Amino acid sequence: MRTPFARRSILIAAAAAPLAAPWVSRAQSLKSEYKLSVVGNRPIPLSASAFEWAELVTQRTGGRINVKVYPGSQLVGGDQTRELVAMRQGVIDFCVSSTINLSPQIREMNLFSLPFLMPGPAAFDALINGEVGRDLFRVLATRDVVPLAWGENGFRELSNSKRPIRRPADLRGMKIRFAAGAIFSDIYTQLGANPVQMSFADLQPALSTGAVDGQENPINLFLAFRMDTLAQKHLTIWNYVADAGIFHVAKPVWDSFSRADQEIVAESAREAAKRQIAAARKGLGFDGDRSSLDELARRGVEVVALTLEEKRAFAEATKPVFDKWAAQVGAELARKAQAAVAASA
């Protein structure tokens, strides 16, 4: 015969069972490994931050959420433009993406590739930290992923093996590699160059064999992968577009985490993104540190930093491309971006 106390204990346990069951089910549904994809590899900031994010999440969850990085976009055969599709197919769980590589599937991401929209870091920050950044995250969220933080891979500068580039005419006839996005083909075609699309994995051998004359990438990547040893002896600093980074998680994966784990994943992404931005800007003179520019000189790279007047000549030459793609990105989004950039000056 059960005592009144025993009967109360059974009732309390029965009432608590429905609450406990979902927690048990969720804990049991965690994978043994979560795959994080990123283009390139350490030490470039975009890739290094992916490792930082994975390490933070794994450590802070005591290994319950075990995140492993697959650099070089190896989960999609080196084709970084397929990462979003692979996330939606369940092949990739976490991703640190460049907006350039998202743009073939999401036209709005071409915003950061509108030529000469952003003169420098203050303009970039105004976009990612304001209404434009929130609008773009809402767009990305409709693609079965959960965006968590904005990062930065850096402003993309132009290098080549032929000659210094100061005027649009200097690009005439050059074979210039670009990563993805028809907007880049339009920009270089407008400038009289011959644009060639290829993956990052194919870029280095293409430069070493002369299959392409030049490429455009952030200075941090140029230095890390020693492109000066691949005949890239001329570099033009023109800040024609910026490469934004996005830390995001596949929505089914995100939904499988508890709220506490979601906060750990999100906060870890924000921390890694903050470090990514700092690393992307290091040594470029924005805060007085010119170590990256000094390293270019030490390696014998001829650096041309365009004046405002010289940049205006390129901006004017590519205005038809800007107008065409501003319409495709969305007139209202482009207008917001221009207003935010103007206000940041």
At residue 212, the pLDDT reads 97
β-bridge mates for residue 175, sequence order: 194
- Phi/psi at 303 (nearest 5 deg)? -105, 130
Q: How far apart are CA 131 and CA 30, in angstroms?
A: 35
Cα torsion at 49, 51, 54, 60 (round to 10°)?
-80
| Contact predicate 227/295, CB 8 Å | no
Domains of the chain: 29-344 (3.40.190.170)
Largest CA distance in the chain: 97
At residue 201, the pLDDT reads 82
At residue 180, the pLDDT reads 83
Mean predicted lDDT score pLDDT of the chain: 91
At residue 15, the pLDDT reads 40
Closest CA to 245 of 44, 91, 86: 44
- Phi/psi at 28 (nearest 5 deg)? -75, -20
At residue 21, the pLDDT reads 33
User: 224: which 2 tokens?
Assistant: 């890390």
Closest CA to 110 of 42, 168, 179: 179
3-state secondary structure the chain: CCCHHHHHHHHHHHHHHHHHHHHHHHHHHCCCCEEEEECCCCCCHHHHHHHHHHHHHHHHCCCCCCEEEECCCHHHCCCHHHHHHHHHCCCCCEEEEEHHHHCCCCHHHHHHHCCCCCCCHHHHHHHHCCHHHHHHHHHHHCCCEEEEEEEEEEEEEEEECCCCCCCHHHHCCCEEEECCCHHHHHHHHHCCCEEEECCHHHHHHHHHHCCCCEEEECHHHHHHCCHHHHCCCEEEEEEEEEEEEEEEEEHHHHHHCCHHHHHHHHHHHHHHHHHHHHHHHCCCCCCCCCHHHHHHHHCCCEEEECCHHHHHHHHHHCHHHHHHHHHHHCHHHHHHHHHHHHHHC
| Contact predicate 87/144, CB 8 Å | yes
User: 57: which 2 tokens?
Assistant: 């999440």
Q: Which portions of the chain are predicted below pLDDT 70?
A: 1-28
